[in-house]
Amino acid sequence: MQNYRISLNDLPPEGKEFTLDEAAIWQEPMEEFRLDFRVSKPLCARILVLPMDGGWLVRGTLEGEVVLPCSRCAEDSVAAIAARFEDFESMPGMSDDEAENDDIVAAGEMEDSTDGRIVFERNSPMLDLAAICWEELMLALPVTPLCRNDCKGLCAGCGVNLNEGMCACTEEEGDPRMAALRGLTLHKN
């Protein structure tokens, strides 16, 4: 995959817009994290990075479509992706105390930064646009994907997909409300 790190210090004052649509941006982390979904309409991100006081505004859109397993029955569930996002990335390690030891701070952040959207290469702050694309996709995914709104899910007893018909255990148990009615009838007699 191409390197999508951009040098933040080299941006023009009016900012710059980037278009990212290479499938590998999302495909590689999907495989890395062994996520059970696939892209059904190509994903495309447009990201504007605008220099501001103390950091950068990162604003963009992400569009496309992915197929995930339904959270009830595990069949395909199609999720249209149409996300808008806006974040502020502040310049790391630039407080007065740290400014003198800038090299050390930068090296440390490269090692163990967990919110690592900004990394340093030769003391120059770089923003990883591919990481942003991945994060924004994760945020845009439905929390409980459904193949359809009224998905009946799988039978807890035998695992049959109840969208495709009733299973034997449902018939045996019967409807508890019907059982109550049957009981009433017995008492009357």
Question: Using the rule CB under 5 A, is 11 a contact of Zn ion?
Answer: no
Question: Using the rule CB under 5 A, is 68 a contact of Zn ion?
Answer: no
Strand partners, 68: 77
Q: Which is nearer to Zn ion, 148 or 182 (CB)?
A: 148
Report how far residue 125's alpha carbon sits from residue 184's, in angstroms, rounded to the nearest whole number.
77
Q: Which is nearer to Zn ion, 30 or 70 (CB)?
A: 70
DSSP string, 84-109: EEEEEEEPTT-SHHHHTTHHHHHHHH
Question: Using the rule CB under 5 A, is 167 a contact of Zn ion?
Answer: yes
Strand pairing class (55-69; 76-90)? antiparallel
Question: Using the rule CB under 5 A, is 39 a contact of Zn ion?
Answer: no
Q: Which is nearer to Zn ion, 105 or 147 (CB)?
A: 147
Site string for Zn ion, 71-90 (x = CB under 5 A): -xx-----------------
Strand pairing class (124-128; 55-69)? unpaired
Question: Using the rule CB under 5 A, is 157 a contact of Zn ion?
Answer: yes
What residues have CB less than 8 Å from 135, skipping those under 6 apart?
Answer: none
- Binding residues (CB under 5 A) for Zn ion: these are 70, 72-73, 147, 151, 155, 157-158, 167, 169
